């Protein structure tokens, strides 16, 4: 991610400083403090370029649409969550404040606009949290659940409870009357991790229109069952650029243990690889979710060393992927704990977005801008 000084941004925009600051305050241009001089600010280059092109009148409709899918303007409206000035909000409530005492069940009720998440006793008997079990259980539901079209919001909310119960039975097996964070802590035999698990689940529940949420909404927009929408989200989440980014953090930690933190960062950058532990496009001053989590458990020494070296060399603060990997190490959780937590929590968000998309009655169907060989023409006519 590249950043511009105020002078560079003003030259690109051909505007006054007041207009630049107004665009920052309205969230159109991301800004952060200059590491070399905290009194100055730096401005996100792609945001500046996008506004400069808009002001110059060079953007055609198809260009706007294409850029909207690549970290551009919102591609659809949602009342569920948003990120404004480095803060995450669930239906207008500050998510980090909400996570101080809330459970995932309460987060689901908030995201579902008041529909409580009540779990049934499925009696699956899973011995331990299993992502594979979640995939199999959801796939089994997809073949028997009703399509979402033509069904009332009440019926869909009731089904959403059942789908989330299905996911919870696979990812946090335990008695249905126990909060999910306690079920997860007991499954991993780590009772001391329970409160941090609770916070993490709440903070992971939703994050605006990310890749997996968009996938879930596309599926729901076609009228598929809610279980199909969650299955789509879960499949997308496993990508290394999304929910599986914590694996890159683990690899970086292993290199740091062998070579030292600074050398690990230097080698990764020299090889042209991205550092999944640092930075987030929506949080130029630091991932607020990571900040909220990292303040509630002692950071292992190897993670502290990597954080200090990486932040100094990259100029970006550690993100949620780093925090989840550090939390797993601090409490000696299973290796796959970050993706288990992510999948369980985000299922609540996927269901909220699926129900909102169904309520809109709109099919998500963008057009492709063809860039292949020229179509054949019949010259005999």
pLDDT tens-digit map of 132-149 = 999 999 999 999 999 999
In the prediction, which pLDDT does 381 show? 56
Q: What is the pLDDT of residue 178?
A: 93
Residue 280 annotated among the catalytic residues of the structure:
yes
Determine how β-strand 93-94 pairs with β-strand 87-90. antiparallel
Q: What percent of the chain has pLDDT over 90?
A: 62
Lookup: tokens for 24: 């920052």
- Structure token digits, residue 377: 């023409």
DSSP element (H, E) containing 171: helix 153-171
Token couple for 184: 């997860």
Contact 261, 305 (CB under 8 A): yes
Residue burial 314-342, b: 16+ Cβ < 10 Å; e: rest: bbbbbbbbbbbbbbbbbbebeebbbbbbb
Query: pLDDT digit string (tens) for 190-232?
Result: 999 999 999 999 999 999 999 999 999 999 999 999 999 999 9
What is residue 248's predicted lDDT score, i.e. its pLDDT? 87
Q: Is 378 marked active-site?
A: no
Residue 172's SS3 state is coil
Which pLDDT band, with edges at 50, 70 and 90, does 71 fall under?
Answer: low
Of 32-41, 60-69, 200-209, 261-270, which range is least confident?
60-69
Which pLDDT score, from 0 to 100, does residue 378 have?
Answer: 66
CA 142, CA 140: separation in Å to the nearest integer?
6
Q: How far is CA 244 from CA 69, 181, 234, 277, 337, in A?
A: 21, 21, 11, 12, 11
Domain boundaries, the chain: 3-68, 96-365
Return the biggest CA–CA distance within the chain.
Answer: 78
CB 236 within 8 A of CB 211: yes
**What per-residue confidence (pLDDT) applies to 284?**
87
The one catalytic residue in 145, 280, 287, 353 is: 280
Catalytic residue among 47, 169, 287, 321: 321
Q: Are 347 and 226 in contact (CB under 8 A)?
A: no
Which H/E stretch holds residue 350? helix 337-360
Beta bridge partners of 32: 42
Of the pLDDT bands very low, low, confident and very high (cuts 50, 70, 90), residue 65 is low
Phi-psi label, residue 147: left if phi above 0, alpha if psi -120 to 50, beta otherwise: beta
- Residue with the bigger pLDDT between 240 and 292: it is 292
CATH of 96-365 among 3.30.960, 1.10.580, 1.20.120, 1.10.3470: 1.10.580
pLDDT digits (tens, 9 = 90+) for 300-321: 999 999 999 999 998 899 999 9
Residue 57 reports pLDDT greater than 60: no
DSSP-assigned letter for residue 37 = E
Average pLDDT over residues 63-80: 73
For the chain, the C-alpha Rg in angstroms (whole number) is 22
CA–CA gap between residue 163 and residue 273 (Å, rounded): 38
Sign of CA dihedral 89, 237, 136, 249: negative
């Amino acid at each position: 991610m590249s950043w511009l000084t105020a002078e560079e941004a003003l030259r690109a925009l051909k505007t006054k400083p007041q207009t630049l600051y107004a665009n920052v305050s309205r969230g159109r241009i991301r800004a952060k403090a200059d590491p070399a001089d905290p009194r100055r600010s730096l401005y996100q280059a792609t945001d500046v370029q996008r506004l400069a092109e808009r002001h110059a009148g060079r953007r055609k409709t198809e260009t706007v649409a294409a850029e909207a899918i690549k970290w551009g303007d919102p591609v659809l409206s949602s009342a569920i969550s948003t990120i404004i000035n480095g803060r995450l909000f669930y239906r207008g409530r500050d998510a980090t404040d909400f996570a101080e005492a809330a459970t995932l069940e309460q987060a689901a009720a908030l995201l579902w606009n008041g529909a409580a998440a009540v779990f049934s006793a499925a009696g699956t008997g899973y011995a331990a949290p299993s992502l594979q079990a979640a995939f199999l259980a959801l796939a089994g539901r997809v073949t028997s659940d009703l399509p979402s079209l033509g069904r009332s919001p009440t019926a869909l909310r009731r089904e959403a409870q059942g789908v989330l119960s299905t996911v919870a039975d696979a990812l946090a097996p335990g008695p249905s009357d126990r909060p999910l964070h306690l079920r997860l802590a007991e499954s991993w035999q780590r009772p001391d991790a329970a409160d941090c698990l609770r916070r993490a689940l709440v903070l992971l529940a939703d994050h605006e229109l990310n890749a997996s949420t968009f996938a879930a909404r596309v599926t729901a927009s076609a009228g598929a069952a809610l279980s199909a929408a969650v299955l789509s989200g879960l499949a997308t989440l496993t990508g290394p650029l999304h929910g599986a980014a914590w694996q890159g953090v683990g690899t970086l930690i292993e290199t740091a243990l062998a070579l030292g933190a600074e050398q690990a960062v230097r080698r990764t950058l020299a090889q042209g690889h991205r550092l999944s532990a640092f930075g987030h496009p929506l949080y130029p001053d630091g991932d607020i979710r990571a900040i909220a989590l990292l303040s509630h458990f002692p950071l292992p020494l190897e993670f502290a060393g990597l954080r200090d070296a990486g932040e100094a060399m990259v100029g970006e603060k550690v993100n949620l992927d780093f925090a989840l990997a550090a939390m797993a190490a601090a409490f000696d959780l299973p290796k796959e704990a970050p993706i288990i937590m992510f999948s369980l929590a985000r299922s609540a968000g996927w269901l909220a977005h699926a129900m909102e998309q169904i309520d809109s009655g709109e099919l998500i169907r963008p057009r492709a801008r063809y860039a292949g060989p020229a179509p054949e023409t019949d010259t005999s006519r």
